Amino acid sequence: MESNMEGITITDLKKVYESDKQAVVAVEDLNITIDDGEFLVLVGPSGCGKSTTLRCIAGLEDVSEGSITFGETDVTDLRPSNRDVAMVFQNYALYPHMTVKQNIGFGLKLSTKLSSDEIDAKVESVAEMLGISELLGDKPKALSGGQQQRVALGRAIVREPSVFLMDEPLSNLDAKLRSEMRTELQELQQDLAVTTVYVTHDQTEAMAMGDRVAVMNGGILQQVGPPEDIYRDPVNEFVADFIGSPSINLFTADIEGSTLRGPGGFSYELDDTTPVKNIDRVRVGIRPEDFTVVEDTKNSATVTVVEPMGNENFLYMTLGSHEITARVDPAIRPQEGETVGLSFEETALYLFDPHSGESLKTKSDSVDVELSTTVND
Amino acid sequence: MREEQRQNAVWMFLTYTFVLVMVLVMLVPLYWMVVAATLPQSEFLQFPPRLFPGTAFFENFGALQGRINFLQSVGNSVIIAVVYTVLSLLLCSMAGFAFAKYEFKYKEKIFYTILATLVLPIQLLVIPLFLLMAQMGWTNTFLAIILPWAANPIGIFLMRQNMKSIPDALLESARMDGASEFQIFYRIALPTMRSSLAALAIILFLFQWDLFLYPLVILETPDMYTIPVALAQLTGAQRIYYDQIMVAASLAILPMILLFLVLQKQFVSGILAGSLKE
């Protein structure tokens, strides 16, 4: 199979795990097209089907229905070794009895006709690229977590595959190393320009790394798009809730005419009632950064905890029996137990259908206005 | 605190005393066997017993070799046990790998059926096996001794349990690297199982080395006898050649000790350490 021509097309993918007594649907009706050279992040909570999808692409799981093609080639029934893909596992899965050099060269030794000198040369150049040249003679157990991670990457890179698959490769590193490796991985991917599918449960990682992000839940793809789009214009309440840290504030409100009435005496007069026509209840979403602390307002909340982050403060508050979070300027530091007034722009408001969870109104409806308010702030 | 220390000391004393007694229980008969091998028959039965080695070892050995061609039996035993151990290690580890790492129909049922054969004692199997071997014309051959237990249920069970500890990701990684299923088995699974294989090798070798009743039935001519069968010839109706038995028994344990010393290097713990980041 030729390298560097591979987009991935997944059509109607379904994966069912059958056991004696029951069948569990892990992924259903998945359709997604990944462009050549793209960095796509699959993100979602545990059990959402993201790893299963990755394993189907890798060929480690049989597909129950649907097809997967790389470029023009249908790989649905091909063995993993015939797909020209390389995978980095969450726990690295280094061969414990082999040295770093043997670990990296193992795939080349098995799947190519290269001489051992040629393999050595390739292994050495990859090791140099990853800064692990001096570790080539060591066994995995002598390495630190970060070094093991690099060896696992090296093992994938050395084969020059047309697709990289990464299954939460950074989740076992400590926070500092994780953000370093995050940048390094992105640079590496850009340099190599290899189509990459990256699985993570960490939405920050997804937002930071992906050209596009695919959010999954319960085996079903919720939304695919560039990170900013997903953040501003989520298709439903789940995506809005999952993407963003701290999470969006969500509560149910009754609609009386053009007024939203929520918990703790919350009320808001809508200028534009089009999104909520013919319904009497709605789910309201407001991002923590869209709250501003003001005096004299009809909406107020009681501060329970203040977390100073240095460049900003997180205010954890209760609105009636509901917990909400605001992300404010570090100069604003109310006392715990104090009641503060909260205000927000209607452009920042998200509204979701209370039954289906689908978006009725999102931020992107009013991008220009929102941007200008940000500038004014 | 001091009370606790005192209790600890008492407990330690009791533990060590117990261990020491157990060690003596194991070692004294062995020591006596070696001493007895060096005594002429006349001194062997005297009371109080001699506690230190005598000088009659080579005499006794000469008599032994003259009576039963002991060296030939040692050769037979070594051939049978080595071939059996290698073959059985291969079969048991392959079966164990399949039971631990592959999904197939009736997997559990087949496995527990194999395990259930453990309840059948050798004594029960000797006659049917003899009849089977006789029909195949294999009586008085090494093959008849080696084959019946080559797929050893204990070995299969042991390897299955240990193979389960190999992380799936390791095998999948090899699969992605282009390894065939057999390459995954012998290049990834087997090397990580070295200490288990060493332990199993000793169990299998010992099992075959000590096997008596079945070879006694199958092997017909003295030139085919294994050590236990040959030793039995020294216990006659008229006379028991204790001195020669002790010489033979002393020599018969040497290969076991040798095997253990060779394999003990393999009992390194944590062979899997460093493969996975937990």
**Which residue from A300, A284, A291 is spatially nearest to A252, judged by alpha carbons?**
A284
Can you tell me the distance from the alpha carbon of A215 to that of A208, in angstroms, rounded to the nearest whole number? 14
> What are the structural domain ranges in chain A?
8-237, 246-376
Tokens 């060096």 locate to B38
CB A313 within 8 A of CB A333: yes
The 10s digit of each residue's pLDDT in A125-176 is 999 989 999 999 999 999 998 899 999 999 999 999 999 999 999 988 888 8
Stretch B43-71: mean pLDDT: 86
Of A206-215, A340-349, B16-25, which gets the smallest average pLDDT?
A: A340-349
Residue in chain A lying closest to B105 (CA): A20
Mutation to test the B interface, candidates A78, A89, A100, A151, most B Cβ within 10 Å: A89
Measured CA to CA, the distance from residue B85 to residue B205 in angstroms comes to 6
- The pLDDT, as a whole number, for residue B46 is 79
At B50 the pLDDT is 80
CATH number of A8-237: 3.40.50.300
pLDDT tens across B140-188, in order? Answer: 999 999 999 999 999 999 999 999 999 999 999 999 998 999 999 999 9
How much is the pLDDT for A122?
Answer: 95
pLDDT band at B100 (very low <50, low <70, confident <90, very high): very high
- Domain positions in chain B: 2-58, 60-264
The predicted model gives A265-294 an average pLDDT of 90
Confidence band, pLDDT 50/70/90 cuts, at residue A364: low
Which chain B residues have any C-beta within 8 angstroms of a chain A C-beta? 167, 169-170, 172-179, 183, 188, 191-192, 194, 270-278
Transcribe A82-131 into DSSP letters. Answer: GTTEEEE-TT----TTS-HHHHHHHHHHHH----HHHHHHHHHHHHHHHT
Q: How many CB pairs under 8 A join A and B?
A: 87
Looking at CA atoms only, how far is residue B150 from chain A in angstroms?
A: 28
Are A25 and A18 in contact by the 8 Å Cβ rule? The answer is no
Contact A94 B169 (CB under 8 A): no
> B88 pLDDT exceeds 50?
yes
For the beta sheet containing A73-74, the strands, ordered from the edge strand earlier in sequence to the opposite edge, are A23-34, A8-18, A65-70, A73-74
Q: CB-based contacts of A221: which residues, under 8 Å, 6+ apart?
A: A29, A30, A31, A32, A214, A215
pLDDT in the model for residue B51: 82
How buried is residue B21: exposed, middle or buried, by Cβ count under 10 Å (0-12/13-18/19+)? exposed
Report pLDDT for B276: 57
Task: Quote the minimal CA–CA distance from A109 to chain B in Å.
Answer: 9
Q: How many of the other CB atoms lie within 10 Å of CB of A281? A: 14
pLDDT above 90 coverage of chain B, percent? 64
* Contact assignment for B191 to A111 by CB distance below 8 Å: no
| Residue contact A95–B277, C-beta within 8 A | no
Position A373 pLDDT exceeds 60: no
pLDDT at residue B270 greater than cutoff 60: no
Closest CB to A93: pick one of B169, B179, B278: B169
Instruction: Tell me which of A29 and B49 has the higher pLDDT.
Output: A29
Mention every residue, 6+ apart, whose C-beta is less than 8 A from residue A304: A316, A317, A318, A323, A336, A337
Which pLDDT belongs to residue A377? 37
pLDDT bucket at A307, cuts 50 / 70 / 90: very high
Q: What is the mean pLDDT of residues B239-250?
A: 88
* Interchain proximity B277–A96, CB inside 8 Å: no
Q: Which residues of B fall within a CB distance of 8 Å from A119?
A: none
| Predicted confidence band of residue B41 (pLDDT cuts 50, 70, 90) | confident
**pLDDT for the residue numbered B277:** 52
pLDDT of residue A4: 46
Is the Cα torsion angle A182, A89, B166, B183 positive or negative in sign? negative
Question: With contacts defined as CB-CB under 8 Å, which chain B residues touch A92?
Answer: 275-277
Q: What percent of chain A has pLDDT over 70?
A: 94
Judging contacts by C-beta atoms under 8 Å, the chain A residues touching residue B174 are 95, 106
Q: Mean pLDDT, to the nearest integer, of B241-253?
A: 89
Closest chain B residue to the Cα of A142, Cα to Cα: B274
Which residues share a beta bridge with A307? A314
Residue from the list A93, A110, A148 with its beta carbon closest to the beta carbon of B179 = A110
Residues of chain B with Cβ-Cβ distance to A86 below 8 Å are 176
In angstroms, the separation between the Cα of residue A84 and the nearest Cα of chain B is: 9
Helices then strands, counting H and E runs in chain B, come out as 16, 0
Residue A54 has what pLDDT? 96
Q: Which of B175, B275, B277 sits opposite A95 (nearest CB)?
A: B275
What integer pLDDT is reported at residue B273 of this predicted model? 47
Band of residue A365 on the pLDDT scale cut at 50, 70, 90: low
Which residues in chain B have their CB less than 8 angstroms from residue A142's CB? Answer: 274
**Residue B225 near residue B184 (C-beta atoms within 8 A):** no
Structure token pair of residue B151: 């797929």
CB contact under 8 A, A97 and B192: yes
**Structure confidence at residue A376 (pLDDT):** 39
What pLDDT shows up at residue A272? 84
Cβ of A95 within 8 Å of Cβ of B174? The answer is yes
User: CATH assignment of B60-264, given 1.10.3720.10, 1.10.10.10, 3.90.550.10, 1.10.10.60?
Assistant: 1.10.3720.10
Take residue B65 and report the two structure tokens written for it: 């070799």
- Give contacts of B170 with chain A, Cβ < 8 Å: 93, 95-96
Q: In which band, very low, low, confident or very high, does the pLDDT at B275 lie, cut at 50, 70 and 90?
A: low
Interface touch B272/A96, C-beta < 8 Å: yes
Q: In this predicted model, which residue has the larger pLDDT, A54 or A174?
A: A54
- Specify the pTM: 0.80
Cβ neighbours of residue B133 under 8 Å, at least 6 residues apart?
B139, B144, B218
Quick check: B274 and A81 CB within 8 A?
Answer: no
pLDDT at A375 over 50: no
Residue A104 has pLDDT above 50, yes or no: yes
Contact A140 B275 (CB under 8 A): yes
CATH topology (fold) of A246-376: OB fold (Dihydrolipoamide Acetyltransferase, E2P) (2.40.50)
Residue whose token pair is 């307002």: A297
What whole-number distance in Å separates Cα of residue A285 and Cα of residue A223? 18
Task: Give the pLDDT confidence score for residue B1 in this predicted structure.
Answer: 63
